[in-house]
Each structure stands twice: as structure tokens, then as C-alpha cells.
Amino acid sequence: MFNKRFLSPKVSQKISYAILFCATILAIIPVSIIVFIIIKNGASAITWEFLTSMPKDGMRGGGIFPAIIGTLSIVLCAITITLPIGVCAAIYLNEYAKDNLLTRVIKLAIVNLAGVPSVVYGLFGLGIFVMFLQLGVSIVAGALTLSIMELPVIITTARGALSSVPHSFREASLSLGVSRWQTIRHVVLPNALPGILTGAILSIARVSGETAPIMFTAAAFYVPHLPKSAFDQVMALPYHLYIISTQIPNMPRNIIFGTALVLLMMVLSMSLIAIIARIYFRKRRKW
């Protein structure tokens, strides 16, 4: 990289490290600025009323309560569907699957599910859940769409958690005549649980911010009441932010920023909790 005749290896190392350091700064500063801008402009909008009341005046006033409730109901519904399926799939891959063609195809499918663009999930959800299964634009349709979207993430993290349980524990249990499933149920799963749960929280956080998949499957422009059943349309925070920041003229700036701040804090605080929990459980691990 640097001509040796002019620079000693020591000096070139110093310069290179400085460049790497600057790159890292360049990667993290802009995002910090984004967060800072939102906090600075949005903090003034956050009041108890803003969080707990209905929108007013064509959404130019009032609060964002229905959007918060809508988002929570969609994502919680989604994780309830995904978590058991994802954990079972991870158990299959980690504990039962042999190294054969089927396993390779499953792994390839997971890699692909993880890479499908979020808007394509939206299309798919619209096609199969809203139209084909006639669930309509509803919490269920959105939750099902999101649950398929987060499935690869749950499988991957759950698999990591399962494989971090030492192989010897399984051998010890099997050698005592305990069956394979009982071994998984009573030795492997309890020890993988913290890892699985932190993965689940992280995935709830990610999915809370998704807009495109719920745009055509669950989210509504404006619903003047809270959802009464899982087959209702709902407002959702990310979609609401999109609407008020692009579709509604003369929108008060602080309401937009306030909405963005609530969404950001929801996502970041959940992620942070998961990250801290993960560090805590790793330190406390008994083996």
C-alpha cells in the first residue's frame, strides 16, 4: 500500500491504522447523527398524551396511540407464530439432520428466505393471506407475513444457541438411556433458552420497524378506533411515519419527529435489552 522506500513498516502501520480508525468513525458517526437529529427534534413532542391518545385533525394533532398498539399487536402475533416453528426447525437442523441433500436444500432455503426483499414479502402476503386465504387486510395477514420474514432469523439464532450447548451433555444424557427427544427437551433446550429468547427479542425489534411487508397486508392509513379482533386493519408506527412524512401536507414537524422517535426508541431499546441480556447470559454460563 505504501512505498517502503519512503515509509518504514512502523510508520506505514501507524498511518494505516489511522485510516482504518477513520473508516470506522465514518461508519458510525452518520448513524449517530441520525439518532441525534431525531431525539433533538422529536423529544419535545413526546408527552403522555401523545403516546396515549388518538390522532386528531387529519393526523395533524393528537397522539399516536392506535399506531403503537397496532404495531405491537402485529409483531407479538408474528413472534408467537414464528418462535415455535423456528425453534423446531433449528432443533431439526442441529440435532437430527444428517449431512445430506435435504439438509443442504433446507439451508439454502433459509439463506434465501433471509434475502428476499421485504417488499416481496409484502407482495406474497397480499397474494396468499389477504387474497387467496381471504383474511383481508388484517392483523393476522400482516403477522403471518412478518412471521415468515423473521423465520430465517429465528432459525439461525436458535441454531446458534443450540449448538453452543456442549456435545458432551447430550452424550451424558443419552448414555443414561434417556431418549433423544427427552435429552433435547430436558438438557439441550433449557440451556439454549437464554440464547433463543434474546434472538427472539432482537427479531421483534427488527420486525417492528418493517414497513413494506405490512403496507398491503395489515396497515391502514387511518383507523379511528383500536382493533377489536385479529381480523381488523390497524395503524402501524412505521407505516404511519411514512404516511405523515410524505403524504400529508402541512404536517407539524414535531409530530413527525416525535413519531420517528417513538419508533426508533422502541426498536433500539428492545435491541439493546437483547444485546445486554446476551452478554449477561454468556458471562453467567455454567460451562
Partner 1 sequence: MLDKIRVENLSCFYADPKEKGGKKRVLESLNINVVENEILTIIGPANSGKTTFLRTLNRMNDFDPNYSRKGAIYLGNDNIFNMNMEKLRKRVGMLFAMPIPLPMTIYENIIYAPKRLGVVNKKSEQNEVVEQALRDASLWNEVKDRLNSSAMKLSGGQQQRLCIARILAINPEVILFDEPCSGLDPISTAKVEESMMELRAKYTIVLVTNNVKQASRVGSRTAFFLMGKLVEVDKTGTIFVSPKNKQTEDYITGRFG
Partner 2 sequence: MKRKIDSIIEAIIFVCGILSIIFVALIFGFLLKEGFAFFKEFGVIGFITGDLWYPTSDPPKFGILPLIIGSLFVTAGACVIAVPIGVMSALYISEVAPKGVRDVLKSFVELMAAIPSVVIGFVGMVTLVPLVRTIFDIPTGLTAFSGSIMLAFMAMPTIITISEDAIRSVPWSYKEGALALGATKWQTLHRIVLRAAMPGIIAAIMLGIGRVVGETMAVMMITGNAAQIPYSIFEPVRTMTATIAAEMGETVRGGMHYRSLFAIGLVLFLITFIVNFTADLFLGKTKK
Please, which of residues 160-179 interact with partner 2 by CB under 8 A? 179
257 grid coordinates:
419527529
- Rounded CA-CA distance 45/53 in Å is 13
Helix (H) or strand (E) holding 56: strand 55-56
From partner 2, partner 1, none, which one binds at residue 178 (CB under 5 to 8 Å depending on kind)?
partner 1
**The one among 177, 246, 283, 284 contacting partner 1 by CB under 8 A:** 177
Of the two residues 73 and 183, which places its CB atom closer to partner 1 in the complex? 183
**The one among 28, 43, 133, 172 contacting partner 2 by CB under 8 A:** 28
By the rule CB under 8 A, 277 interacts with partner 1: no
- Rounded CA-CA distance 163/33 in Å is 38
**The one among 44, 80, 172, 181 contacting partner 2 by CB under 8 A:** 181
102 grid coordinates:
435435504
**The one among 5, 228, 283, 286 contacting partner 1 by CB under 8 A:** 286
111 grid coordinates:
439463506
Q: Contact 200/227 with Cβ under 8 angstroms?
A: no
From partner 1, partner 2, none, which one binds at residue 92 (CB under 5 to 8 Å depending on kind)?
partner 2
Burial class (CB in 10 A: 0-12, 13-18, 19+), 277: middle
Q: How far is the CB of 95 from partner 2 (least distance, A)?
A: 8
Stretch that binds partner 1, among 2-10, 134-142, 153-161, 172-180 (CB under 8 A): 172-180
Q: Contact 233/223 with Cβ under 8 angstroms?
A: yes
Q: Quick one: which of 106, 83, 90, 220 has its CA closest to 158?
A: 90
Q: Residue 117 to residues 86, 107, 155, 173, 235: CA-CA distances in angstroms?
A: 20, 18, 18, 42, 22
- Rounded CA-CA distance 14/3 in Å is 14
Stretch that binds partner 2, among 9-17, 48-56, 166-174, 189-197 (CB under 8 A): 9-17
Contact set for partner 1, span 59-78 (CB under 8 A): none
By the rule CB under 8 A, 193 interacts with partner 1: no
Stretch that binds partner 1, among 20-28, 111-119, 182-190, 196-204 (CB under 8 A): 182-190
Applying CB under 8 A, the residues found at the interface with partner 1 are 98-99, 168-169, 171-179, 182, 186-187, 191, 286-287
